[in-house]
Amino acid sequence: MYKLKKAKSVKGELRVPSDKSISHRAVILSAIAEGKSVIRNWLSSEDTLATLQIAKALGTKVETKGNELMITGRDFNFCEPDHVLDARNSGTTARLFLGVLATQEFFSVITGDESLRNRPMLRVVEPLRQMGAFLDGREKGNKLPICVRGGKLKGISFFNKRASAQVKSSLLLAGLKAEGITEITEPYLSRDHTERMLKLFGANITQLEGSSGHIIKIAGGQKLYGCEISCPADPSSAAFFVALATLLEDSQLILKDVLINPTRDGFFRKLRQMGAYVEYANVREVSGEPVADIVVEGGRKLKGLNITKEDVPSLIDELPLLALVMSLAEGSSMVKGAEELRFKESDRIKAVVENLRSMGANIEEYQDGFYIEGVEKLKGANIKTYSDHRIAMTFSVAGLVAEGETTIDNPECVSVSYPNFYEDLNKIILQT
């Protein structure tokens, strides 16, 4: 249990933990590359440690020095694991490693915790089967545990209808060892960290716009070479502090070294559209990714807005937090096309609606989103996190802007992505 009361404002400077998506991919690509890679400012969290442990279980040599990793790549020549691989709570770990394991002729099994074992995997399993790998598991391969025996793969053309970056990434990794061309089309560009990082490791990727959407092509037989990677601060983690500073008057906050990749910064762009003061300073490129310091000032009047299906990929992880901001904005807001939220660590649509209602918000649930009428203030409540880190952090922010006391039922779940979240909150909060 963790209790929070309304804060007066937030002030100061903060460097939130490094980006989770990039930290996952840096380990996986370093492992499949030839030679040594150095990963700086790597995020050590429950999810990323799952990725690191699986890489080690496949024979990858890893040296750790503080938040720096030195990885000696296997050039896709992995060792057959002698036990079941555990992705814990991480969908990224499970889905991306399914793509890697599909290239290996040996037998392997990957599983996860109770939450992950109930998340859909057929979206990755089916195209990997089409490429020639054998995969099977619960519910005909839709649920973990999943066993894999891979080997000789052939490139396919695949329409990624959900615009899932995890599906795309899994197929690109498998495509590196497939015969011919692997082509993935998505209706709109999903987060593109894998494509950017593959180029950093020396891969040749073709990207173009077609009549059906964004097309990515990769030829099999390419070799990756070890390199140096610096991981920027995670925009999803930074978003909680940006939202808090936006909602509290007299707040002034600088978030350092934040990733502002256009497939990931939708939350910050939408806040600006609502009237918030959120600006980028010191914009630069780090390891192929755009990075900036984010400057936030609170007290601006906010107006509601609508989120469409096309908006969702660039802010899918921040939608629960955006719902909180919407609940305190003037007028109405609507989120549609976000049914993927029901298949995260929890049913995030249900969790958001239930918890915001308990705090006095005016919110209506849809199958693929919600409708919100803004209110002047929220009231403290007992929050059910459903052991979901993003729900816990979102409603911790809510507790700091609501009247009265708010209780978070499972604060420990934030360790999945942000182990020091509450410590960092306390560094910048000025209490009334």
SS (H, E, C) 80-143: CCCCCEECCCCHHHHHHHHHHHCCCCCEEEEECCCCHHHCCCHHHHHHHHHHCCEEEEHHHHCE
Helix H segments across 224-300? 235-247, 266-274
Closest CA to 119 of 99, 147, 97, 139: 139
CB of 285 closer than 8 Å to CB of 234: no
Quick check: 272 and 326 in contact, CB under 8 A?
no
| Residue 105 CB partners (closer than 8 Å, separation 6+) | 149, 150, 151
What is the chain's Cα-based Rg? 21
Mean pLDDT for the chain overall: 96
The whole model's pTM is what? 0.91
pLDDT for the residue 284:
98
Residues in the chain where the model's pLDDT stays below 50 = none
Amino acid identity for residue 72 in this structure = T
How do residues 349-394 score in pLDDT, each as one tens digit? Answer: 999 999 999 999 999 999 999 999 999 999 999 999 999 999 999 9
Helix/strand/coil percent split, the chain, to 5: 35, 30, 35
pLDDT digits (tens, 9 = 90+) for 16-65: 999 999 999 999 999 999 999 999 999 999 999 999 999 999 999 999 99
Q: What is the pLDDT of residues 224-239, one digit of tens each?
A: 999 999 999 999 999 9
- Which residues, other chains included, contact 118 with Cβ-Cβ below 8 Å and sequence gap of 6+? 143
Half-sphere exposure of 356 (CA within 13 A, CB side): 28
Residue 327: name the closest of 384, 237, 246 by CA.
246
Catalytic residues: 317
